[in-house]
Structure 1
Amino acid sequence: MRTLFFLIVILFSSATFATPDTLFLLRHAEKRDGINPNLSDAGKSRAEHLVSMLKDKEIEHIFSTNYNRTLETVKPLSQKLGIVVTHYNPRQLTALVKQLKTLKGNTVIVGHSNTTPQLVKLLTEQDVTINEDQFDKLFVIEGGALTQLSSNN
């Protein structure tokens, strides 16, 4: 009986760890010019497309810097899923990584062309780049493995 109990505990423990949480990291969508700009029409379209890409991914947390362009990028997804966006300081990425490691559930993190690659590096030790004119890269980290997708798909 004790052996059976032990096997059941092992089985459920393995199942818990076999399905790692997934992080979705991206740069904000296309923006207008100016200081703390809003999204352009193309950016608004991309933000809406993000909903169709991620609505079935069982997202439980959404993080964004406190800038118009990042908040507007995740607003449609946040509204669709009923998730309050958590703001993070783009100058304190190490603190964000510590916070992310304590969470359970799939998470979306929206940043900038300079901070998103830094965050990917902190989480995976892999270098990625986002050019100033690129808005379509979506980085997926699952079980420590990094995959790069395009939000154009």
Structure 2
Amino acid sequence: MEILFVASVSVIAPDPVESRRLYVDALGLPLERLEGEYFASEHIGGSKHFGVWPLTEAAQACFGTPAWPADRPVPQASIEFELADPAAVADGAAELEAAGHRLLHGARTEPWGQTVARLQSPEGLVVGLSFAPWLH
């Protein structure tokens, strides 16, 4: 698997309003509402994408339900690693599974056009393999 770059870092916020108070109001980051309660920016130097991802939306993306499963550590952040194309995401997901890592979900294309597969690290971090066409 060849990682091209870090595509995204997002805090996963149980209380998105409180998190936005820090990242937007106090730190002055230029975060904009993208969808639902998800706020993000692709205009912060040194970062392709930074977001405040509500925990309910992270749970929906990973498990298809707004509640994070009780048998999994509640994540505080996510990081996505960019690959060359959608096939590389599928291949990378298969490689991770073959190495004994349990995926939250396999490679799939989200409604906004990003192909992503996700797992949860031993520390609880949501880790994605991604292909976001607009970053290329």
TM-score band, normalised by shorter chain: under 0.3
Structure with more helix by fraction: 1
Structure with more strand by fraction: 2
Q: TM-score, normalised by structure 1?
A: 0.25
